[in-house]
Amino acid sequence: MVGTLVFGAALALCLLLLDLVLRRLAGRPDGATPADRLLVGARVLALFLLAASLTSRCRGDGSDLAGDVVWTALFGGAGLVLLELALLLGLAPLGGVVAAARKGNLAAATAVAAHTVAIGVLLAAVYGGRSFDDLAIGTVAYAIGQGTLFLLLVLFRALTSYDDRAELVAGNVAAALSHGGLTIALALLIAHATDGEYQGLWPALRDYGIALAEGLVVYPLRQVLVQCVILRSKPTFSGGELDRAIGERKDLGAGALEGATYLAAALFVVRLA
């Protein structure tokens, strides 16, 4: 236990230092604004999740330290690359949000931070091992998870009456809390469906379908539980009082309530499954 903890702590430190170097080389040094610190905090969380996954999957019984280090370094380096690619591709539909976040927009930074945490959740669920087969399978599973997250976010946000991208760029923190809660909740559901050993193409496709189904179940909670039961408004298929509170009135409480409901539902499903 002590050996595993020491190995994991050293790995987390190495990942954080390497990430710091990469961000400096990319011209993204740590800033002093709340938005900058939120972005860095999300990356720290994602890297700790990755470090825990690699420690449990890349470290053997302690008899082959050199092998442990080599496989951990390989998966760790690849994980950092995949994190950057996922942020680049996953946030492309929200054009302008990343740039706004780097300029100190707290709402945009909240959305980007949530995506970063979601990436860490998905990466930690499938990444790690001691063979090139494990590397290939983990990368494919991760790509499927990212594709699922992207698809579900597009489906969900097509049902809101306000434009998420425009609201985030305009600094609507209520919309950011809603979007962030949804993003992390969907990642938890997808990670739960894709976690475990690879057992063939059909089980992988089945798990993909389960992730889609579980993700879609979350939406009625928004329209029924939050909008009708808590906000005491009339039921609607889309839009309604919740969208007006977030999109028009920029109600932070409504945004936090929606985001928390998504997270609660996801944790409920994961704990019971």
Q: What are the tens digits of pLDDT across the range 229-253?
A: 666 677 666 667 778 888 888 989 8
pLDDT at 59 over 70: yes
pLDDT at 201 over 80: no
pLDDT at 47 over 90: yes
For residues 134, 135, 138, 143, the Cα torsion angle rounded to the nearest 10 degrees is -150
Structure tokens at 125: 């669920």
Global pTM reads: 0.88
Longest dimension (CA), the chain: 63
pLDDT at 228 over 80: no
Q: Are 94 and 164 in contact (CB under 8 A)?
A: yes
Mean pLDDT, all residues of the chain? 82
C-alpha torsion sign, points 4, 79, 124, 100: positive
Distance CA 160, CA 220 (A): 13
